[in-house]
Amino acid sequence: MTTGKEDPARAQAAGNVRELMRWAAAARGRPLPDAVRRRAATILSDDIGAIVAGSIEPQVARARQGFMNTATGAAEATVLAKGAARVDRYSAACANGMAITWCELDEGFRNASCHAGAYTIPALLAEAEARGLTVDELLRALAVAYEVTTRFALAYPFPAFYVHPHAAFATIGAAAAVSLVRGHDAKMMQDAITGAASMTFAGPFDTAVEGSLVRNGWTAAGAWVGMRAADWAEAGIAGGIDTPYDVFVGNFRTHAFPEALVDGLGTEWSVSNGYHKMFACCNYAHAAVEATLDLRSRLQKRKVSDIEEIVVEAGPGGMALTTVEPETVLAAKFSIPHAVAATTHLGTGGASAFTFNTLGDATIAGLRRRVRLAAYADAGPPPRDRPARVVWKFRDGEEMSAVCENPRGGADQPFDELTLLSKLSENTGAVFSNAPKMLAGIIAGEPAALSQGWREAMAALVREGKSA
């Protein structure tokens, strides 16, 4: 594939990057449509919940202590962990970035393989707190940064699962967020984002499937790189206008759809096409979990112990999640055999199905070994690109089956707000009792909640005591 000066797609991409930067710099200063603001607030709250849930994991706590030990400069940003001190913005962004994807409960973007909230929010929270933005200004920056990030993911999709999106797009998301918070003009934002694109990294997708925990560090590293890319842009150190195209198409061998950088700007908002998770595993396993729960509800007098084989027909993404003997909790979250076996045994696909104890549970291990994966014959375009059919085959020859063509949580069949608020309360309430009510007020758009400073909002969120 050519990426030289004669490549018309490369030239088109360069012009569209400039247009996207002009739009983003202007959009930052305009009020969001109410529905878009509410979606941005919901993403913010859901991902804060994911950070807090991840903060209690032992590896996250040890990594956080390392960030605390090496932190320098002013105490200007909050680490969302019980008892954590405020530190410099770079250390806070890295600490929160390490936690945000740990439990696989963060929000994701449905139209491309991209978790734009996880790529933008750690740096955004730290920079907005240090700079003294209001909550309303933070939400505007989030919606626009999310837009920029997802448009790069849409423009440069990977043809197969060989580079994980957390590695590919986290630096771009963080740079976009910080550039918007700092009020960069379109040219400086372009310099920051193209510089960040040059420092993206080729984290293999199978790192997650194999359970290597460094995968959860990519959003921490991406936050740091993106923040420094913004610093360096201010010093005159930048990428070139063709850098994103050359990195993705030239080096990563992605597809190229340069029109996706600009089509529908300002009328179509990517935050409106996000999805939320109730199951603590990769979204490509969610349809199989939903189908399994359907079977559980119809089990009646039969017993799980009578199952001889479980056949799971999965879409293309699900067919990559094949691990039968996961060695870490992360590997379990990227294993359809584990997700289906644990859900079959426990009757839940929530966090309790993906703990360390479930890895060695004899019943779950036995069920994992009885799972057989096959391709789903009729997988369609989004949102029906992640389907599953689960068949329980019993020892007496009888069978039960269930199909889920499109798991819940996306824009076409979203979870209701009460369900998401319940998840938020579960993820944050035991650690920060003020958080659920305070974040619910931001989602609802209460004037006092939106006009307050983000620094004050964070102080209230982590304050001990009864809900404000």
Q: For a pLDDT cut of 90, what percent of the chain falls above it? A: 93
369: CATH: 3.30.1330.120
163 bridge partner residues: 204
Residues 403-422: tens digit of each pLDDT: 999 999 998 899 999 999 99
CA distance 370 to 355: 20
Q: Are residues 303 and 228 in the same domain?
A: no
Does a structural domain hold residue 447?
Answer: no
Query: Distance between the two ends of the chain, CA-based, in angstroms?
Result: 58
Q: Are residues 78 and 185 in the same domain?
A: yes
Residue-wise burial string across 146-165, b where 16 or more C-beta atoms lie within 10 A, e elsewhere = bbbbbbbbbbbbbeebebbb
* Residue from 125, 121, 126, 122 nearest 73 by CA: 126
Q: Are residues 263 and 295 in the same domain?
A: no
Is residue 378 very low, low, confident or very high in pLDDT (cuts 50, 70, 90)?
Answer: confident
Q: Which SS3 state, helix, strand or coil, does residue 85 take? A: coil
Is residue 6 very low, low, confident or very high in pLDDT (cuts 50, 70, 90)?
Answer: confident
Does a structural domain hold residue 414?
Answer: no
Is residue 382 very low, low, confident or very high in pLDDT (cuts 50, 70, 90)?
Answer: confident
What is the reported pLDDT for 465? 54
State pTM to two decimals: 0.94
Does a structural domain hold residue 427?
Answer: no
What is the reported pLDDT for 380? 86
Q: Are residues 311 and 242 in the same domain?
A: no
* Residue from 227, 222, 223 nearest 184 by CA: 227
Per-residue pLDDT for 467 more than 70? Answer: no
What is the reported pLDDT for 5? 66
The Cβ of residue 34 has, within 10 Å, a number of other Cβ atoms equal to 9
Q: Are residues 248 and 290 in the same domain?
A: no
Residues 105-116: tens digit of each pLDDT: 999 999 999 999
- More confident call, 2 vs 439: 439
Q: Are residues 170 and 291 in the same domain?
A: no
Does a structural domain hold residue 143?
Answer: yes
Tell me the residue range of the domain where 363 lies: 283-404
Is residue 268 very low, low, confident or very high in pLDDT (cuts 50, 70, 90)?
Answer: very high
Is residue 50 very low, low, confident or very high in pLDDT (cuts 50, 70, 90)?
Answer: very high
Rounded (10°) CA dihedral 333, 54, 48, 112: -30
E strand residue ranges, 92-202: 108-109
Q: Are residues 148 and 223 in the same domain?
A: yes
- More confident call, 6 vs 91: 91
What is the reported pLDDT for 187? 98
From 377, 404, 431, the end of a domain falls on: 404
Q: Are residues 194 and 80 in the same domain?
A: yes
* Residue from 438, 455, 458 nearest 446 by CA: 438
Per-residue pLDDT for 454 more than 80? Answer: yes
What is the reported pLDDT for 36? 98
What is the reported pLDDT for 1? 47
What is the reported pLDDT for 340? 98
From 275, 291, 310, the end of a domain falls on: 275
Does a structural domain hold residue 140?
Answer: yes
From 404, 432, 455, the end of a domain falls on: 404
Contact status, residue 241 vs residue 19, Cβ threshold 8 Å: no
Does a structural domain hold residue 136?
Answer: yes
Residues 284-343: tens digit of each pLDDT: 999 999 999 999 999 988 999 999 999 999 999 999 999 999 999 999 999 999 999 999
Domains in the chain, number: 2
81: CATH: 1.10.4100.10
Is residue 4 very low, low, confident or very high in pLDDT (cuts 50, 70, 90)?
Answer: low
Per-residue pLDDT for 3 more than 70? Answer: no
Residues 112-145: tens digit of each pLDDT: 999 999 999 999 999 999 999 999 999 999 999 9
Q: Which two tokens stand for residue 369?
A: 């070994």
Q: Are residues 370 and 293 in the same domain?
A: yes
Q: Are residues 207 and 249 in the same domain?
A: yes
Per-residue pLDDT for 468 more than 50? Answer: no
What is the reported pLDDT for 317? 92
Which amino acid belongs to residue 57?
Answer: E
Does a structural domain hold residue 149?
Answer: yes
Q: Are residues 240 and 299 in the same domain?
A: no
Q: Are residues 242 and 211 in the same domain?
A: yes
Does a structural domain hold residue 426?
Answer: no
What is the reported pLDDT for 73? 81
